[in-house]
Structure 1
Amino acid sequence: MSEQILTNARLVLDNEVLTGSLVIRDDRITDVAAGASHAPGAIDCDGDYLLPGLIELHTDNMEKYFQPRPKVAWPERQAALAHDAQMAASGITTVFDALSIGDIDEDGMREGALEAMARSLGEIGRHGLARVDHRLHLRCEVCHPQTLTRFRELCELPELGLVSLMDHSPGQRQFASLEHYRTYYQGKYGLDDTAMETFMARALDNSRRYSGAHRSAIAELCHARGLALASHDDATLAHVSESHEYGVRVAEFPTTLEAARASGQVGMAVMMGAPNLVRGGSHSGNVAAMTLAEAGLLDVLSSDYYPAALLDAVFRLAHSTADYNLPRAVACASAHPAEAVGLADRGRLTPGRRADLIRVREIDDHPLIRRVWCAGRIVH
């Protein structure tokens, strides 16, 4: 049996920060105790923090490695391993890689790369090449004509653990502001004004034709397979009521204070983007993550498009005027996301849990990752 003893660490537990020692045997935490360990070979952590490994429920970071530039496809395994290394370096030990079904850009590469990304994640896991634990999160663009068909083809993947329902058509949810919609998609795809109007008209027509039926059918399939379900960009009480009726567990990125409060009241975990918190606001003009934190409504943080933002956001939240001390802030990126998707074996520094850990030193109020363990193995 392999044993590692970490001592002289500030252990971030559920309700306190305890200066003490932690023991890892094989892939599990077996002991947590106050005070120093004098056992031979104990590793002195020099007063650094020990945190549970971060759990990321929603990141589309992997897509950037598979398509580093427009119309450029990268070899599958190399792309997956580069993404995996960035997750480990960011302190993320469990990641639900978000893959999109139904690209609203009909000329985009997302749809074509979908199976390659899913396949490569399965392969690096089976061959023992992955540093961290990868799961799948299928983001279903319910307004796309082929989304339901493609979801039926992919919903039996063994890595699949989370499904989100989203509609990025203009004039609602994330893009209630048409100005923000135009700015985002014209910048992303380089569309002139005429092409942009055509793009918007097609998106609106598809939303009217497909969104409702696809949302209902995918939710039913998820419940039949025991898959956790997330909403996306709920903005109104009607949106929240609909999500609750579908059995949604995670309210991803509610765009208004009203929607976030209603989501919490019906038992959904409210997730917000770590970049939103670090930057001080939403790039789409929606509610700020810190506004929700100050109202006590923030349950889960996600790095979204910038992996390193997750740990930064945890410490920024702990140092803010909101009522989140370090244990509560850390739980937003560990225990709470684990609970939201039914992972009972990780997310806390308690005996019996997976030995997913991060050793962190704070320098000028910035968290510096010094070591990362995933299932007891040093991965960074």
Structure 2
Amino acid sequence: MLSIRFENARVMRPDGWDEAPVGIEDGLIGGGARSVDLGGYDILPGIIDAHGDGFERHMAPRRGALRERDSGMVACAAELAACGITTAMLAQFWSWEGGMRGPEFASEVFESVACVAPTVPVDLRLQLRLETHFLESFEAAEAAVDRWDIPYVVFNDHLPHQRLAEGRKPPRLTGQALKSGRSPEAHLALMQQLHKRSSEVPEALDALCARLGARGVRMGSHDDQTFEARAAWRARGVHISEFPETLAAAQAAREAGDAVVLGAPNVVRGASHAGNVAASELIAKGLCDALASDYHYPSPARAAWRCVELGLLDEPGAWRLVSEGPARLLGLHDRGTIEDGKRADLVVMDRDNRRIVMTIAGGRVAHLSGDIASRLM
């Protein structure tokens, strides 16, 4: 681990920018034996990514042709660090959809993280995304949470209920079936079967959430659309709303004191790819606690600066959405701000172009690029 003190940089502290030195000793902020001049650079808290599945392309770079397990996760950790992410919640489906969303692939991801996490500086953590109607696999999913010590479970429902209720085929059925390894007919039959059991789902979720909550597992709902849906999740102890699709759902979460996670790519591109409420609109109304990478690891840093460019937030306020905010909602009180005694998670940026040139995670260099290397050497 580093024993070092950075001087002459601009530093983003909880109260804003200052130029006081930042030391690192024993993996924590404070102290530091050797001084290094970082004049011209900015030092910010490391990014905490509350939800991201960009690792899929590392572990399965070509669908059906090549799978990389441990080496893929190592490559993922390197990309995370290059993007300034020092803590990553890897969001993995546990779904009837099969393929890369099925339990078999999920188990590969969980095993890979268990193997790789101790060997890399970036803190790799797991989120299990459980499909609400996958009732027959609730027990297995719960066992996976216990086995892999998964701290965060999010509930999704990707069944096209309206189409199924009307007896119509869902859109993109053939492509989804091929990804699952099923024929279109078998895939449709499975969806119809799951849809027919909808009346059983609320009671099953009540019981499952009670058991997970008793274990201290954090829980979130995904793609909330209505006030009523958010209220139902809250009654189960599910206090994080991920990517709400409407203003009403986000307001319902905020009014009840629940946390709201939005997608950073939505901010970067200026709109939801699915046509839902724009993240920038919710941020402007104060309805965001954290910006997550979703499917694109470079986006959190870019989204924070985009919020500044749009006039939605000042620089410290925008960066809090990718550092202090996600730390708070995930219960990671040892990180998220640059303060003595906290975990030494730092991002160093070139002030001229906001390019990330160094990432330090837990007091270890996770990424280093360009001329700044000569200053450390």
TM > 0.5 between the two?
yes
Shift in Å, 1:93: 0.6
For structure 2, the 5+ residue unaligned runs are 163-167, 368-377
Amino acid at match of 1:374: A
Q: Counterparts of 2:61 and 2:251 in 1: how far apart (Å)?
A: 38
Range with greater deviation from structure 2 (308-317 or 178-187): 178-187
Q: What does 1:1-380 correspond to in 2, within 5 Å?
A: 3-30=3-30, 41-105=34-98, 110-126=102-118, 129-170=119-160, 182=172, 198=188, 202=192, 205=195, 208=198, 211-322=201-312, 324-363=313-352, 367-380=354-367
- The CA distance in 1 between the partners of 2:272 and 2:186, in whole Å, is 23
CA distance in 2, matches of 1:123, 1:288: 38
Q: 1:158 offset after TM fit, Å?
A: 4.8
Question: TM-score with structure 1 length normalisation?
Answer: 0.86
Deviation of the 1:182 alpha carbon: 4.7
Given that 1:81 and 1:130 are in contact with CA atoms closer than 8 Å, whether structure 2 keeps it comes out as yes
Instruction: Give the superposition deviation at 1:157.
Output: 3.4
TM-aligned CA distance change 1:61 to 1:168, over 3 Å: same
Q: Secondary structure at the residue paired with 2:360?
A: strand
**In structure 2, distance between residues paired with 1:117 and 1:197:** 24
3-state secondary structure, aligned to 1:160: coil
Change in Cα spacing, 1:238 to 1:54, as seen in structure 2 (3 Å) is same
Instruction: Write out per-residue CA displacement over residues 7-47 of structure 1, whole angstroms, 9 at most, x where no aligned residue.
Output: 1111112231112311111200016xxxxxxx984222223
Q: CA deviation at 1:64?
A: 2.1
Residue matched to 2:373:
none
How far the C-alpha of 1:134 sits from its partner, in A, is 1.0
For the aligned residues, what is the CA RMSD? Answer: 2.9
Distance in 2 separating the partners of 1:355 and 1:4: 11
Q: How many residues align?
A: 361
Aligned mates of 1:40, 1:260 — CA distance in 2: 47
Q: 1:180 to 1:48 in 2, by over 3 A?
A: farther
Check the 8 A contact 1:186/1:196 in 2, yes or no: no
Q: After alignment, is 278-287 or 2-11 more displaced?
A: 2-11
Residue 267 of structure 1: SS of its match in structure 2?
A: coil
Identity of aligned residues (%): 30
Determine the C-alpha separation between the residues in 1 that align with 2:41 and 2:145: 42
Distance 1:202 1:183, change over 3 A: closer
Unaligned stretches of 5+ residues in structure 1:
32-38, 173-177
Q: Tell which deviates more after alignment, 195-204 or 242-251.
A: 195-204
SS of the residue corresponding to residue 276 of structure 1 reads: helix
Give the structure-2-normalised TM-score.
0.87
- Name the CA shift for 1:284/1:14 in 2 (closer, same or farther; >3 Å): same
Deviates more, 1:222-231 or 1:181-190: 181-190
8 Å CA contact 1:138, 1:163 repeated in 2: yes
In structure 2, the CA distance between the partners of 1:180 and 1:370, relative to structure 1 (3 Å rule), is farther
8 Å contact from structure 1 (residues 29, 350) kept in 2: yes
Could you say if the C-alpha distance between residues 293 and 22 of structure 1 is closer, same or farther in structure 2, counting changes exceeding 3 Å?
same
> Partner of 1:120: helix, strand, or coil?
helix
Shift of 1:209: 5.2
* Inter-partner Cα distance in structure 2 for 1:187 and 1:311: 35
Report the CA distance between 1:199 and its aligned residue.
6.9
Structure 1 residues 362 and 202: CA distance shift in structure 2, 3 A = farther
